[in-house]
């Protein structure tokens, strides 16, 4: 990750006098321009394009310095106009941390919580897990409930539909995180037409372009893109490389921003959900939600650069 730290340092120097960076650091000054938004096709509701993943980064001890850092991460996240937080009951103690964090910072009203029915089988198990999720998150409803990796999907999607009808869930979705799951994900999406689907998509993991993303576009399904940095591997692949000369014209000052904008440049992607527990990295990720996106030619150049 050395290359990322280097670029973050350079970005801070270049943007020292920037109102945008100052706004991000102070969690929402009035002069901040609006973050890019995309609409959820099933409702027309707009959502900010930069979300926040929690796998790993929110699985920390609640009495640790890392927990205090998460307060600053959320401050910058909401201050920039972002809202969508992706989480799951099987991400260790992430839900048990997020609930108190939102309560302590009085930001539940700003959050679009996207959680999951995860690794459960049967209706009663699904409902019980969801009840525990609400308790952990200290809320009475969530914005999005996803069937994690299609586990027991036929039963769990009916559980999600019931919860939606009961007003406990606003949207329902399905997820997967590896290329080998894309065909099944597309088949289930075509059959059930959920509000959202979530899929892995990055510069080096582009299989979703073959069927999943075109299908989502055609059916009017919102898309959350996970593994945007390919679990950090992308940074190692560019550690000795410079950003393209045109990056500055798009307000891109780091590889992280370029990788996120690459994903957002696909018209079917509604939002990206990079995970971090570091405030400076959160600021860096948030900047990808501002300024122009990549042209097809620029995307091809990034693919060649990463190799």
Is residue 307 predicted with pLDDT exceeding 90? no
Q: Which tokens in the block code for residue 295? A: 């042209």
- 108-136: average pLDDT: 98
Is residue 155 predicted with pLDDT exceeding 90? yes
Distance CA 221, CA 196 (A): 5
Q: Is residue 75 part of a domain?
A: yes
Q: Which tokens in the block code for residue 103? A: 């309560």
CATH code, domain with 127 = 3.20.20.100
Which of 28-37, 66-75, 81-90, 152-161 shows the lowest mean pLDDT across its residues?
28-37
In Å, how far are 33, 113, 121, 166, 277 from 141, measured between CA atoms?
30, 9, 22, 10, 25
Tell me the CB-side half-sphere exposure of residue 253, using CA atoms within 13 A: 24
Distance CA 187, CA 156 (A): 16
Q: Is residue 64 part of a domain?
A: yes
Model confidence at 32, in pLDDT bands (50, 70, 90)? low
Distance CA 247, CA 302 (A): 10
Tracing tokens 């600021």 back to the chain, one arrives at 283
HEC readout, the chain: CHHHHHHHHHHHHHCCCCHHHHHHHCCCCCCCCCCCEEECCCCCCEEECECEECCCCCCCCCCCHHHHHHHHHHHHHHHCCCCEEECCCCCCCHHHHHHHHHHHCCCHHHCEEEEEECCCCCHHHHHHHHHHHHHHHCCCCEEEEEEHHHCCHHHHHHHHHHHHHCCCEEEEEEECCCHHHHHHHHHHHHHHCCCEEEEECCCCCCHHHCCHHHHHHHHCCEEEEECCCCCCHHHHHCCCCCCCCCHHHHCCCCHHHHHHHHHHCCCCCCEECCECCCHHHHHHHHHHHCCCCCCHHHHHHHHHHHC
Model confidence at 137, in pLDDT bands (50, 70, 90)? very high
Is residue 26 predicted with pLDDT exceeding 50? no
The pLDDT, as a whole number, for residue 22 is 56
Tell me the pLDDT tens digit for each residue of 218-243.
999 999 999 999 999 999 999 999 99
Roughly what angle, to the nearest 10 degrees, separates helices 212-219 and 182-192?
Answer: 10
Q: Which domain holds residue 52?
A: 40-239+266-291
Question: Number of structural domains, the chain?
Answer: 1
| Residue 155 backbone zone (phi > 0: left; psi -120 to 50: alpha; other: beta) | alpha
Tell me the pLDDT tens digit for each residue of 167-226.
999 999 999 999 999 999 999 999 999 999 999 999 999 999 999 999 999 999 999 999
Q: Percent of the chain scored above 70 by pLDDT?
A: 90
In Å, how far are 64, 78, 83, 117, 164 from 216, measured between CA atoms?
41, 28, 22, 21, 21
The pLDDT, as a whole number, for residue 33 is 75
The pLDDT, as a whole number, for residue 4 is 57
Q: Is residue 92 part of a domain?
A: yes
Distance CA 95, CA 255 (A): 29
Is residue 279 predicted with pLDDT exceeding 50? yes
HEC readout, 40-72: CCCCCCEEECECEECCCCCCCCCCCHHHHHHHH
Model pTM?
0.90
Q: Is residue 282 part of a domain?
A: yes
Q: Is residue 100 part of a domain?
A: yes
Q: Is residue 141 part of a domain?
A: yes
Is residue 13 predicted with pLDDT exceeding 50? no
Q: Is residue 35 a contact partner of residue 190, using CB atoms and an 8 Å limit?
A: no
Is residue 24 predicted with pLDDT exceeding 90? no
Model confidence at 9, in pLDDT bands (50, 70, 90)? very low
Q: Is residue 71 part of a domain?
A: yes
Q: Is residue 176 part of a domain?
A: yes
Is residue 120 predicted with pLDDT exceeding 50? yes
């Amino acid at each position: 990750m050395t290359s990322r730290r280097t670029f973050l340092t350079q970005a801070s120097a270049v943007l020292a006098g920037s109102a945008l960076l100052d706004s991000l650091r102070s969690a929402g000054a009035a002069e901040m321009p609006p973050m890019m938004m995309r609409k959820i096709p099933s409702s027309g509701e707009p959502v900010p394009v930069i979300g926040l993943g929690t796998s790993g980064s929110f699985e920390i001890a609640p009495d640790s310095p890392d927990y205090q850092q998460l307060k600053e991460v959320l401050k910058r996240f909401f201050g920039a106009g972002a809202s969508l937080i992706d989480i799951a009951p099987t991400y260790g103690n992430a839900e048990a941390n997020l609930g108190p964090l939102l309560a302590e910072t009085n930001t539940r009203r700003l959050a679009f919580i996207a959680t999951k029915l995860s690794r459960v089988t049967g209706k009663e198990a699904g409902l019980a897990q969801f009840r525990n999720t609400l308790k952990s998150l200290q809320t009475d409803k969530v914005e999005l409930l996803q069937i994690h990796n299609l586990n027991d999907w036929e039963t769990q999607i009916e559980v999600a539909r019931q919860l939606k009808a009961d007003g406990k869930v606003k949207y329902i979705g399905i997820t997967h995180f590896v290329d080998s799951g894309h065909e099944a994900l597309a088949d289930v999406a075509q059959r059930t037409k959920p509000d959202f689907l979530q899929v892995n998509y990055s510069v080096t993991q582009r299989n979703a372009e073959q069927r999943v993303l075109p299908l989502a576009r055609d059916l009017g399904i919102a898309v959350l893109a996970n593994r945007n940095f390919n679990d950090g591997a992308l940074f190692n692949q560019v550690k000795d490389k410079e950003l393209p000369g045109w990056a500055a014209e798009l307000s891109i000052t780091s590889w992280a921003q370029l990788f996120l904008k690459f994903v957002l440049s696909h018209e079917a992607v509604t939002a990206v959900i990079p995970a971090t527990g570091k405030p400076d990295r959160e600021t860096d990720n948030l900047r990808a939600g501002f300024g122009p996106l990549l042209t097809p030619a620029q995307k091809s150049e990034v693919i060649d650069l990463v190799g």
